[in-house]
Amino acid sequence: MYKNWLKASRYISIFGYVSTIFLNTLLIVLTGWFLKRKLGTYKHLIIIFSVIGIVFESFGVVFQPMVLFANSGFMGFLNVETQLFSRNSLTNILIIYNSIFYSSTSFLAVMFIHRYFSVVKPAQLFHFQQKRITLWILYSFITGLMFYISCRFFCEVDNFATEYFSEEMLNSFERLVSETPAISIIIRSDGLRWKDLTFLISTSLIFHLQNAIITQKMR
């Protein structure tokens, strides 16, 4: 049963990947070469965001990230078999994949700030001119880097997590946790696990900050 579900999810992810590549490539071409309206820096932001989307989807379709939920925790892992990378390298790729998502969220917030200035405060657009756009790109990169560092520090699959998820992983995916590139979060088990809770709080604050910026600029 689980193999049929995995096969269906694989087809869905491939369809999503092809759609993303086509639509984002079309957006890049139309924005870069055929758009007559002068958008200035915003045109570059659109192209960069589209490239981030393509990179994110490419990671997903190649390395097949999955999530396993069990009781008070969840485990993110790569459901891929390859001899090209070590388990530690694949775990690193998984964290980078999630970091790209966080970077894209903050970059989307940057785009909303630009649109807000364009409509409400055009005089403030100088913050996006020339080399200043590099600072906004750096802001998005730092957001992803913060997630990466937090994940490496707090989400390592330790012996407790290996035992905690082993039965569910074996039953659902016929995989051994000890051989699977993964990260894990377990909120509580005979008490709170503070390192896991610290990770959730810190990354949630980063994520909700970006959402707050987007929501505020939409008003």
pLDDT category of residue 151 using cuts at 50, 70 and 90: very high
Q: What pairing do the DSSP bridges indicate for beta strands 182-186 and 73-78?
A: antiparallel
Q: Which residue has the higher pLDDT, 125 or 77?
A: 77
What contacts 18, CB < 8 A, 6 or more positions away?
Answer: none
Query: What residue ranges do the domains of the chain occupy?
Result: 52-218
**CA 119 to CA 189: how far, in whole Å?**
50
Give the pLDDT confidence of 49-102 residue by residue, as tens digits.
Answer: 999 999 998 998 889 899 998 888 899 999 888 888 999 999 999 999 999 998
Q: Which residue has the higher pLDDT, 5 or 68?
A: 68
Q: What are the φ and ψ backbone dihedral angles of 183, each rounded to 5 degrees?
A: -130, 155
Average pLDDT, the chain: 86
pLDDT category of residue 36 using cuts at 50, 70 and 90: low
What contacts 50, CB < 8 A, 6 or more positions away?
Answer: 24, 25, 27, 28, 31
Decide if pLDDT at 10 tops 80.
no
pTM for the predicted model, two decimal places: 0.86
Inter-CA distances, 53 with 58, 83, 136, 209, Å: 8, 27, 17, 21
Cα–chain center distance at 196: 18
